[in-house]
Amino acid sequence: MTENSKLSYIETGNGNKTLLFIHGFCGSHEYWNDIVSKLKDDFRIIAVDLRGHGESQPIGASFSIEDMANDIASVLEERELDQVYMFGHSLGGYITLAFAERFPGKLSGFSLVHSTALPDDEAGKEGRLKSIETIEAKGIPAFIDGLVPKLFADSADSHIEQTKEIGYKTSESGAIGSLHAMRTRIDRNHVLKETKLPILLVAGEQDKVISAEKTFFVKGSHIQEVTLEGSGHMGMLESPSRLAEEIKRFVDSN
C-alpha cells in the first residue's frame, strides 16, 4: 500500500484481465488466499482490505456502502486500471453493487459471492443493532467468537480458528461503521436487472446467513448462477477449488 492509499491491498499474478476481490464483514484480503493462489497464473489480481478491516486504517466513524465503493474506485485510480472483474463476498457484494451502479464503465463484469441485492428486512436491521451493542459492551474478540462459527456449514470446520484470527484484526469503528452501512443500504435489484454487464451469482447450499433465494432473486440471460454444494457462507474457504473454477469459467467466457 502506498501512503496515498485509502485501503491496504495485495496485488499479484499475471494476465491481461484483472480480478478485484472484496471480502465480507470482519474479514480481510486473506479470505481470498486460496482463490488467489489458484488464479494468479492466469490473471492479475488485487484483493483489498476494507476500511477498518485487516491492514486498512479506519476512515471516520460514520460511512455508507457508497463511501466504501468510492474507496475501491480510489484503488483503481491509483493503479491506473480502466476495467476489472469485481468479486464481492457478502458485505463486499453490497459494495460491488454500489460500485456497479456508480462506475459501470470500470467493470468488465461482476459477481456476488454469498451476497444479495436485497436490503435488510426489519429483523435484519434489529440484528445489526444487537451486533453493535455486543461490540460496544464486550469488544471485537467476543463478537467474532460468536459470529464466525455461524458462517460455516460445519461447526467443526478447520478454517474457523483462522477466520477468527482474521476477524480479530477488525477495528471496533470499522465493524460498527460497517454494520450501520449495511443496515441502511438500499435495494439494488435494479442494478442486477438493468446492467448490460455479465454477472456471476454464487450461493452456498447450506448458507445460514444469506439464502440462495436471496442471492438468486433476479434472473436474466446475462446472469450465471452457481450453487456450492455443502458450503455455508464461506465458499472461498469451504469450496475453493470449485469457486476458483467457476470464477475462471465466468471470466474466460466474457
Categorize the per-residue pLDDT at 7 as very low, low, confident or very high, splitting at 50, 70 and 90. very high
Q: Please provide residue 169's backbone torsions phi and psi, each rounded to the nearest 5 degrees.
A: -75, -10
Tell me if 3 is assigned to some domain: no
Range of the domain at 189: 9-252
Short-list 153, 118, 145, CA closest to 232: 153
| Grid cell in block for residue 65 | 456502502
Count of residues for the chain? Answer: 254
Query: Which CATH number does the domain housing residue 61 bear?
Result: 3.40.50.1820
Tell me if 121 is assigned to some domain: yes
Tell me if 43 is assigned to some domain: yes
Burial group, residue 223, by CB count within 10 angstroms (0-12, 13-18, 19+): middle
Tell me if 2 is assigned to some domain: no
| Pairing mode of beta strands 84-89, 18-22 | parallel
Tell me if 234 is assigned to some domain: yes
Tell me if 177 is assigned to some domain: yes
Tell me if 150 is assigned to some domain: yes
What is the DSSP secondary structure assignment for residue 154, as one 8-state letter? S
Number of domain units in the chain? 1
**Interval 34-74: pLDDT, tens:** 999 999 999 999 999 999 999 999 988 799 999 999 999 99
Average pLDDT, rounded, for the chain = 96
pTM of the predicted structure, to 2 decimals: 0.97
Q: Please answer whether residues 235 and 206 qualify as being in contact, where contact means their C-beta atoms are separated by less than 8 angstroms.
A: no
**Interval 208-244: pLDDT, tens:** 999 999 999 999 999 999 999 999 999 999 999 999 9
Tell me if 108 is assigned to some domain: yes
Short-list 84, 94, 76, 95, CA closest to 7: 76
